Amino acid sequence: MTASPVAFSAAGAPATAAGGERPKLEHAYLELRDPPRDGNVSKPGPRVGRIDFQFNPKELTLAKSAKWKRDTQRENSRSGVPEFTGSDPSKLTLEMFLDATEKNDTRVVDAVEALFACCVPTRESLDAKKPSPPWVIFHWGGLTGFAAYVSSVSVKYTLFTAGGLPVRGIATVTVEEIAGKTPGQNPTSGALAAHKVHTVLSGDTLASLAWREYGDAGAWRAIARANDIDDPMRLQPGQTLLLPAPDTLQPAGGTP
């Protein structure tokens, strides 16, 4: 089975962009990051790799829950008033369909090993005496997830070669938010954030993009952070940039 580069609308028909052109297929992937060594959980370390989805997920499950405590008394016919005790982190669960039947190679096994490696400490963290698995961020086109860790991976193999090599399977992966919402932060910051995708044109600058998108040229720093741009003066025509959703930007006066 091979992936077909066709996007479908909600009605099931091939989706087309304006002008009748078929949109480019964007494959989902998990971006792997080094854990921050300075203890600042708001900013993951540098990229150390990525795990590409062979096929895009059919659905995503995003969950968040709150904790409440309710005291009961034997003499009362009704329970006491509940007391809020805290919020649980956001959790994103998704399925990865794995297939190697075209060549009957080790592609499925290799993908599973890469996922399992997200549950064990990296060599760099062990050398630094701070054992930690890599942090992950889920990306899919204009969607970007929260900084998270892989809390569980389970794989169901569904097809094997005559020699017993798995060549098809479904991996269920759950990632859990590293840092929860802090006071004053947007309540959707622990969810998937929708981004626009912009292709850089000649003459574009981060400040001009920020002005057109947000009405604030000073918001160029948010675009730089979202794209790991160290030098804002070196934009290249044809370069693809993610423009964060306005409600994910830090308020005026926040830390740049």
- Per-residue pLDDT of 236-251, as tens digits, reads 888 878 787 776 675 4
Region 195-256: CATH code: 3.10.350.10
Which pLDDT does position 228 carry in this prediction? 79
* pLDDT score at 94: 93
Interval 71-86: pLDDT, tens: 877 767 777 788 999 8
Q: Give the helix/strand (H/E) hosting 125.
A: helix 123-127
Residue with tokens 């054992």: 131
E strands present in the chain: 29-33, 47-52, 60-63, 66-69, 83-87, 91-99, 135-140, 143-144, 148-160, 166-177, 193-194, 196-199, 240-243
Regions of the chain with pLDDT less than 70: 1-24, 39-42, 75, 180-195, 247-248, 250-256
Quick one: 66 exposed, middle or buried, by C-beta within 10 A (0-12, 13-18, 19+)? exposed
Q: Quick one: pLDDT at residue 185?
A: 46
pLDDT the model gives residue 1: 40
pLDDT computed for residue 41 by the predictor: 66
Can you give the pLDDT at residue 113? 97
How far apart CA 177 and CA 150 sit, in angstroms, is: 9
Query: Is residue 9 packed enough to be buried (19+ CB in 10 Å), middle (13-18) or exposed (0-12)?
Result: exposed
> In this structure, are residues 143 and 192 in contact, taking their beta carbons and an 8 Å threshold?
yes
Ranges in the chain annotated CATH 3.10.350.10:
195-256
Greatest Cα pair distance, the chain, in angstroms, is: 76
pLDDT on residue 23: 54
